Amino acid sequence: MKVGFIGLGIMGSRMAANLQKAGHDLVVYNRTQSKADELVEQGATRAESPEEVAQQCRLVITMLSTPEAVEEVALGTDGFLKSLPGNSLWVNCSTVNPSFTIKMAHHAKKMGQRYLDAPVSGSLVPAEKGELIFLIGGDAADVEQVQELLDVMGKETVHVGDHGQGASMKIVNNMMLAQAMASFAEALKLGTALGISEEKLCETLLGGPAAAPFLNLKQTKILKRDFSPQFPLEWAHKDLHLAGVTAYEQNVALPSLHATKELYAQAKEKGFGEEDLSAVYRVFLSEGK
């Protein structure tokens, strides 16, 4: 199957590579063209614009960082939506807020195209191993059309409901994830202030019922001070912001969310935005960039 893939960052590059390894013909675009080099060397076709991707494909997957980036590649001057053949399918794996994804679904429909919101649960390693979990909003028939591709990139597909529901589940998921990381960072701060070693805190807390399972993946990063990004902190902050926007739209009060968002803002302010989200712990250490 010929697949257009737009967005080749930490996640998208690995997702696209798995599709390529499975024998799918890729047409790829990334704003920083060098990020497509490895895929092109392995046989992918490099597009010079999102529009050029659409001219060669009836299925386009996007994996981008922000709603603004998604809107630009879809509807901008060189956007792909206007150039897709009629009744093509756009699968948006980007993490965006529900109201935005519903707006994109409406734009797609108005232009004679189909749309799925399909954000993923998982970071660098699951993306590399093809073990992501897809959270889908949209028509069941469209999910069925791309199930083969989803099975290559992930281990599970959860069809949550109509357009916007996949994005809704992802926002809730990432809100919990970022808050759990922040809570663990605070626990480490208090524990070490009380004279307990980081090693003993990690060993005890991460083996107990109070810790989210994903925190086990962050133990080595914290103990070795290796904050190379699996899920960049700046995107965790962005997702908390989008959760706050969504809560405002729904007239829902989420006080701990907003406190957590400001902690991540502090981490970004200190220069840790491009590091892993576990670098939020660095806010509590006597250091800075």
The residues annotated as belonging to the active site are 170
**DSSP characters over 138-201:** S-HHHHHHHHHHHHHHEEEEEEEESTTHHHHHHHHHHHHHHHHHHHHHHHHHHHHHTT--HHHH
Residue 200 vs residues 213, 215, 223, 280: alpha-carbon distances, Å:
17, 15, 11, 20
Tokens of 64: 């981008």
- Report the SS3 class of residue 32: coil
Q: Is residue 181 within 8 Å of residue 218, measured between CB atoms?
A: yes
H or E segment at 25? Answer: strand 25-29
Chain centroid offset of residue 240 CA: 12
Q: How far is the first Cα of the chain from the last one, in angstroms, to the nearest whole number? A: 46
Task: Name beta bridge partners: 76.
Answer: none
Q: How far is it, in rounded angstroms, from Cα 61 to Cα 36?
A: 15
**Residue 167 CB neighbours (<10 A):** 30
